[in-house]
Amino acid sequence: MFIIQMDSNLSSYDPKLLLHGEQFLEIYKPVSASGKIRSSRRISGLHDKGTSAILELEILSRDLETGEVLFFNRSTLFLRGAGGFSPSRSQMYSYSSRTPSNNNLVVKFSKQGAVSDDTPDAEFVDHIQLSQALLYRLSGDMNPLHSDPEFALEAGFERPILHGLCTLGFAVRAVIRCCADGDSSKVQSIQCRFVHHVFPGEILVTEMWKDHSNTRVSFVCKVKNRGKIVLFGSVRLHPKLSML
């Protein structure tokens, strides 16, 4: 198994006030099934939204033995009730990311989130098991928002919700199955915006659109019974591998 050491001095927060807004991941080296990883993180942005705050967090992960950079994560966190600390407030809700491999890379999302009015190139349906959030907690995310009914009610939800990254995992797996021949090693980067929550037990429908080069797949993930878009984004595939 992996042993992960974190270098961080971040302050604690009330998880009832936190929601995951956006996520970006870029993979630089193949990750083996076992080994040791050292991850360092830093706060790269903080924005006052009036009644809430937007926190941008970057995490860089290296092989502990060789020092090689393996992957890079950038998360945008939405802190409800934490705004009003700045006299000058930005009205834009977007972020940019500069990664070690490409200093010019900029990731931005529109508020609307519409990908295309065209018929999807592929569609995949997943049924989320009622126990999925409890299983995902084994990854180390122990936020009671995903397991404690009373806590979820206090946070404004009728019952525990699924982790945003777990929902993203279902969407990316659909892209890998439908657009990458089931080969996860073809994934170079992932970006997404979380729009709405998902309850365990619901049915997810992931719609996908490929670009002309077949190296970028845009996707929208919806909850079938509520008709809600829960997240949208894109997966970039390695150019050479996608042409094989």
Told to judge if 126 belongs to the known catalytic residues of this protein, a careful annotator would answer no
* Rounded Cα distance, 159 and 147, in Å: 9
Q: Is the pLDDT of residue 2 over 50?
A: no
Q: What is the pLDDT of residues 37-62, one digit of tens each?
A: 999 999 888 888 777 888 889 999 99
Q: What is the pTM of this model?
A: 0.79
Whether the CA torsion 74, 76, 79, 82 is positive or negative: it is positive
Domains of the chain: 1-108 (3.10.129.10), 115-244 (3.10.129.10)
Q: Which of 20, 47, 146, 163 is catalytic?
A: 146
Q: Which of 141, 183, 196, 238 is catalytic?
A: 141
Q: What is the pLDDT of residues 216-243, one digit of tens each?
A: 999 999 999 999 999 999 999 988 655 4
Please report which confidence band the pLDDT of residue 98 belongs to, taking 50, 70 and 90 as the band edges. Answer: very low
Work out the number of other CB atoms within 10 angstroms of the CB of residue 66: 10
Cβ neighbours of residue 202 closer than 8 Å, sequence gap 6 or more: 128, 223, 224, 225, 226
Told to judge if 161 belongs to the known catalytic residues of this protein, a careful annotator would answer yes
Q: Is the pLDDT of residue 35 over 90?
A: no
In 3D, which of 143, 151, 110 has the Cα closest to residue 233?
Answer: 110
Told to judge if 118 belongs to the known catalytic residues of this protein, a careful annotator would answer no
Q: What is the pLDDT of residues 101-110, one digit of tens each?
A: 433 333 343 4
Q: What is the pLDDT of residues 125-163, one digit of tens each?
A: 999 999 999 999 998 888 899 999 999 999 889 999 999
Q: What is the pLDDT of residues 155-212, one digit of tens each?
A: 889 999 999 999 999 999 999 999 999 999 999 999 999 999 999 999 999 999 998 8
* Rounded Cα distance, 173 and 58, in Å: 23
Q: Is the pLDDT of residue 10 over 90?
A: no
Told to judge if 14 belongs to the known catalytic residues of this protein, a careful annotator would answer no
Q: What is the pLDDT of residues 77-87, one digit of tens each?
A: 888 877 777 76
Q: Which of 27, 161, 190, 229 is catalytic?
A: 161
pLDDT at res. 28: 93
Cβ neighbours of residue 194 closer than 8 Å, sequence gap 6 or more: 19, 20, 21, 22, 23, 164, 167, 168, 230, 231
